[in-house]
A and B are shown apart, each in its own frame.
Chain A
């Protein structure tokens, strides 16, 4: 949607819209976030993912200007907005925010909520912009209603429209789908991504739900204890986790002990896995090998057998928890017509085209 208002100028493609350099945050003397650095390019959707209390929301609020910065700096659209001892007030940062509880103004109609941030726009400009945005989020006829008359999903969309109305340089979303039920969450997540992509909006999302992060974001930063553990694509987080925390937090899987072979590759009790082994691991050293449920496939012909310890029916697939001969546990994702009883030994084999190992 093009808008001719001077506030809605286009940004250079490929420009860095958000940059965090060694950002540290603290509540009083209690450090909350430690030396965080990453950048987002124009039109990219980033996500900070982590368990509750990891500091992700604090980072978001610091970018918006609601938390002071202890060290490091924040740049928005190339301009420093916060550093130690200096902070641009939130209202001057040109950052839109969708709050976890939406924070719609209950005393204002939907149209006036959406138009709330249109400072310096003429009345006809405002009306046109509000109309555009309500249409964009699929609520063209709700302008005269009040927030309490809308469903949760509709309120969410109004909050998005309100945040986008003044053409912010950057959109921040704080757990935007957490108060919706699961089915709606997925649908709205996709819708929001489509809207942001269509408008070429740079956005940063915060969530504890990895599937939400996978569905919406281009790049995801996994946070733990106030530190960024890995900043990468969803594919890489799952298949090439940089450390044990990310391997454990993203997806399901187990770590099996293995021995590094001199020819390259690593030997586990399920067989030999080929692939790049970190240089630090000399031949003969013992490492932990990450095995995802899709790395172990069910094969009745296989000589390698494991007993079913637990099963979870997931519709198309069954997730089996297997007990290996050594006593170790492993997961296997199997098409659900292969229905085996608990206690039954089934044939399995390895089907991994890469190997992820962590030194012990």
Chain B
């Protein structure tokens, strides 16, 4: 909208200011926990800080660095090579792999993790077989290591890079490559000189998402006993009972995440220009004979390792324990997961709608910044949010307790902590971006002239909402609800740290069972999560595949 158009419209009053106010409130939900956590960084408590700096931090930083480096290289290699093969080449099974390679997104990394540990640990089938065959398995690399965690997280997170890089390769068309060929460069030269550099912003975007997931991961590193900031926050809080120490660790993690966000913003701004010409459907590079089968073997290996074999293993274990474990307690876990997912999805949808309408009504920098801030939570690891929300609520609880004592002469106990009031805002903040993006993109299709067209027919207010807006938003709202619902079900650290007493979910059950090495019994809740995780992938495929 240009300045003259804005000037021509009458100033907005009344209800419209309400949208912005509501958006401000939602943004506060993200700002407050971050501010609380960051204040711990800027005003450290000496003793706690000294202890952390001497004993904990160096190891955590080294571990985090090694893990992000390993995962970063792994997801880039896997994601880009598979995207190129399925987007630009032709080989046996390409059509199947182009969607099947997204399926690992349905398996939470912590589930793949415990399956791999079960397979490759000292007592697992692989090393047992090696000992039987060669007498020793001492040379076999330990799976409970940074390398093991990086391997599993690579297998779980490469689809982010794959999805975005594939999109880039598909939309850049074959024209650019043909141009390179007509200028005397072979196809492989063309890939490295043209296709890859043109896709770089997308690859970087996918990589950033994968790295944010890596920094936010709790369940996987917990399975591998590989300490990073998330597990350290948990142990400091629930092992050492030091919320202060936890918040100081959280503040450092937040700074790392902010670094990533800055990088991501940089890559995003470059994406706009990096598209050559129009979308063109051209013939694929046919990989004939052995090269084609090598490509198929590579894609199969990734698909088997990241999805098919772990899921098959889960199914096999489930069959063993289902008789014993498929009881009322299990139904309780399932019920809690479903109802938390449902409540959080409804809350998130409402908040996403408020933000989308605020942005539609007020196209000014202030509103845009509020929306950006409100949706920043996707990058903030769950343990950080948990700490950042519990600290102010604990303070409020204390104030209430003091007030209660003063007024009624007795302590009312903890009113806020240990209720859904901690958990739901944390979910909302963490997954608002997931819900907001689909709502916003369908909101953008409702153009101002559509509103005006409706108004010329006398359709206004609630009638317009019912007859124009809701039907057009329905697809976006549904996608948003499904994505948030599944993400909340899979969420582990927030649930673990802030759940009210008795609110154990599937994810919590998996954490407890894997902590004790009971892989078979962790399989039953895992299967349910994988099944739920397939839902958003089905949505994704419907939108991307033709």
Taking Cβ atoms with an 8 Å cutoff, the residues of A that contact B are 64-66, 89-92, 94-97, 99, 101-107, 116-117, 119, 146-148, 162-163, 165-166, 172
Contact = CB atoms under 8 A, between A and B. Distances in A.
Contacts of A97: 178-179, 182
Contacts of A106: 198, 273-276
Interface in B274-317: 274-278, 280, 282-283
Contact of A148 (B179, B185, B273, B282): B273
Nearest to B178: A66
A89 B277 contact: no
A104 B276 contact: yes
B136 interface: no
Interface string B168-188: 000000011011111111100
B198 A91 contact: no
A107 B185 contact: no
B181 A91 contact: yes
A117 B194 contact: no
5 contacts: A64-B178, A66-B181, A99-B179, A103-B175, A147-B276
Given A99-B178, A163-B182, 12 more contacts: A66-B178, A89-B186, A90-B181, A92-B184, A95-B182, A101-B175, A101-B278, A106-B273, A106-B275, A106-B276, A119-B185, A165-B183
Nearest to B277: A101
Contacts of A91: 181-186
A91 B194 CA distance: 14
Nearest to A101: B277
B40 to A, nearest CB: 42
B179 A119 contact: no
Nearest to A108: B197
A90 B175 CA distance: 13
A103 B184 CA distance: 15
B200 interface: yes
A89 B276 CA distance: 23
Contacts of A148: 273
**Residue of B183, B274, B278 with highest tally of chain A CB at under 10 A:** B183
B183 A166 contact: yes
Given A64-B178, A97-B179, A105 B198 contact: yes
Contacts of B194: 105
Interface in B239-290: 273-278, 280, 282-283
Interface of B: 175-176, 178-186, 193-194, 197-198, 200, 273-278, 280, 282-283
Q: Across chains A and B, which 9 residue pairs bring their CB atoms closest together, nearest first?
A: A117-B183, A101-B277, A103-B175, A90-B181, A97-B182, A103-B179, A148-B273, A107-B197, A91-B181
Nearest to B270: A107
**Residue of A66, A92, A103, A166 with highest tally of chain B CB at under 10 A:** A103
B89 to A, nearest CB: 16
A163 B180 CA distance: 10
**Residue of A95, A101, A119, A148 with highest tally of chain B CB at under 10 A:** A101
Contacts of A146: 273
Nearest to A115: B183
Contacts of A105: 176, 179-180, 194, 197-198, 276
A163 B182 CA distance: 8
Given A90-B182, A117-B184, A166-B184, A103 B273 contact: no
B175 A99 contact: yes
A104 B173 CA distance: 12
A64 B274 contact: no
Nearest to B189: A91
B180 A116 contact: yes
Given A105-B276, A106-B273, A107-B200, A64 B182 contact: yes
A130 to B, nearest CB: 13
B473 to A, nearest CB: 33
A102 B277 contact: yes
Contacts of A103: 175-176, 178-179, 276-277
Contacts of A172: 182
Contacts of B184: 91-92, 94, 117, 119, 166
A227 to B, nearest CB: 23
A336 B283 CA distance: 52
A293 B175 CA distance: 42
B536 to A, nearest CB: 32
A106 to B, nearest CB: 5
B278 A107 contact: no
A95 B273 CA distance: 28
Contact of B183 (A89, A107, A116): A116
B212 to A, nearest CB: 25
A64 B182 CA distance: 7
A106 B276 CA distance: 6
A103 B181 CA distance: 12
A349 to B, nearest CB: 51
**Residue of B175, B179, B186 with highest tally of chain A CB at under 10 A:** B179
A234 to B, nearest CB: 28
A103 B190 CA distance: 13
